């Protein structure tokens, strides 16, 4: 390999983007500050070159923004994926929605949700009469469901799976005991791909970290060649990460994310 080829190979395998879930991956509940080591690592990497940080969350943009303010984060993400499907560029701590993407996403969801009307009634009846779960308002879905416990969420999932087969573009997105519905073309992985390809960042240069079921679509080597989860991740996520050669951290939440980061992308030497 020539010197130029070596240099090109090195550059193309260097970290250019870290894509993290938010709750449970870098933040603890209840407004505690995010572990400072996460920001130290980000700042240290940026001394060597641009590294984008994408937060890929199920929260709404406004909810996430308010939480970032409440937790007084010293560095804001460059991009936010909200509701697992809307894309926002962040400039000077303000979000600028990616109009074309978000508009198309909204239209497709409106059409889909309209077309699957009969399903909502079936699910509502099941939740009301056969579970202790709550039906709640959800910003991104005609129905939001909060199960009373993980086991009940498993049962709800099992009930809905065969029903959803009649609507191949509809998916139930589960995050712990929470469910919402979405178009199958829009998920954390598709959004990560849209952002990274727009910036000409290759999957080889991306680290993706998540802890729960709604992170599975982005914990995929098609979108990020380097995958990880913190030690508190659910079993399915740990299994998915391991099966693709990723790293399952021992530490939890942000400390686990930093542990994985150091393992998969050790900081370049200062010299």
Task: Please count the other Cβ atoms lying within 10 Å of the Cβ belonging to residue 92.
Answer: 6
Instruction: Rule CB under 5 A: say whether 211 interacts with Mg ion.
Output: yes
Nearest distance in Å: CB 217, Mg ion = 13
Contact range with Mg ion by CB under 5 A, out of 16-24, 76-84, 144-152, 193-201: 16-24
Considering CB under 5 A, how many residues would be counted as binding Mg ion? 5
Nearest distance in Å: CB 21, Mg ion = 4
Beta-carbon contacts of residue 203 (< 8 Å; ≥ 6 apart)? 196, 221, 222, 223, 224, 225
Nearest distance in Å: CB 174, Mg ion = 11
Contact range with Mg ion by CB under 5 A, out of 13-21, 42-50, 191-199, 252-260: 13-21
Instruction: Rule CB under 5 A: say whether 212 interacts with Mg ion.
Output: yes
CA distance 150 to 144: 16
Instruction: Rule CB under 5 A: say whether 24 interacts with Mg ion.
Output: yes
Residues 43-102 binding Mg ion (CB under 5 A) are none
Nearer to Mg ion, 156 or 209 (CB): 209
Please give the full DSSP string across 81-112, using - where no structure is assigned.
Answer: EETTTEEEEEETTEEEE-HHHHHHHHHHHHHH
Torsions phi, psi for 65 (to 5 deg) = -55, -45
Nearest distance in Å: CB 89, Mg ion = 22
Quick one: which of 204, 224, 58, 64 has its CA closest to 144? 58
Nearer to Mg ion, 119 or 254 (CB): 254
Instruction: Rule CB under 5 A: say whether 21 interacts with Mg ion.
Output: yes
Nearer to Mg ion, 26 or 145 (CB): 26
Nearest distance in Å: CB 8, Mg ion = 36
Instruction: Rule CB under 5 A: say whether 138 interacts with Mg ion.
Output: no
Instruction: Rule CB under 5 A: say whether 174 interacts with Mg ion.
Output: no
Quick one: which of 235, 234, 202, 249 has its CA closest to 221? 202
Nearest distance in Å: CB 208, Mg ion = 12
CA distance 109 to 184: 10
CA distance 202 to 13: 9
CA distance 36 to 134: 36
Instruction: Rule CB under 5 A: say whether 256 interacts with Mg ion.
Output: no
Strands (E), 139-242: 141-146, 170-175, 178-183, 206-209, 226-229
Contact range with Mg ion by CB under 5 A, out of 159-167, 199-207, 209-217, 262-270: 209-217
Interacting residue ranges for Mg ion, rule: CB under 5 A: 21, 23-24, 211-212
């Amino acid at each position: 390999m020539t010197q130029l080829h070596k240099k090109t190979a090195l550059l193309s395998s260097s970290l250019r983007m870290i894509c993290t879930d938010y709750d449970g991956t870098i933040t603890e509940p209840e407004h505690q500050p995010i572990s400072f080591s996460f920001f130290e690592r980000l700042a240290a990497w940026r001394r060597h070159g641009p590294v984008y940080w994408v937060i890929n969350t199920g929260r709404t943009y406004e909810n996430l923004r308010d939480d970032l303010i409440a937790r007084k984060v010293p560095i804001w993400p460059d991009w936010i994926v909200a509701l697992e499907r809307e894309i926002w560029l962040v400039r000077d701590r303000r979000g600028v929605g990616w109009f074309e993407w978000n508009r198309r996403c909204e239209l497709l969801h409106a059409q889909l949700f309209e077309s699957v009307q009969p399903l909502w009634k079936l699910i509502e009846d099941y939740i009301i009469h056969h579970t202790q779960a709550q039906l709640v308002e959800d910003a991104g879905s005609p129905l939001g469901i909060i199960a009373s416990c993980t086991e009940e969420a498993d049962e709800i999932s099992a009930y809905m799976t065969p029903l959803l087969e009649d609507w191949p573009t509809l998916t139930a997105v589960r995050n712990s005991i929470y469910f919402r519905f979405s178009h199958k073309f829009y998920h954390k992985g598709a959004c990560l791909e849209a952002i990274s390809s727009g910036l000409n960042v290759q999957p080889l240069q991306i680290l993706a970290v998540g802890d729960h079921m709604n992170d599975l679509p982005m914990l995929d080597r098609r979108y990020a060649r380097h995958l990880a989860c913190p030690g508190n991740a659910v079993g399915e996520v740990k299994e998915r990460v391991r099966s693709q050669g990723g790293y399952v951290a021992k530490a939890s939440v942000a400390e686990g994310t930093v542990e994985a980061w150091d393992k998969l992308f050790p900081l370049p030497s200062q010299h």
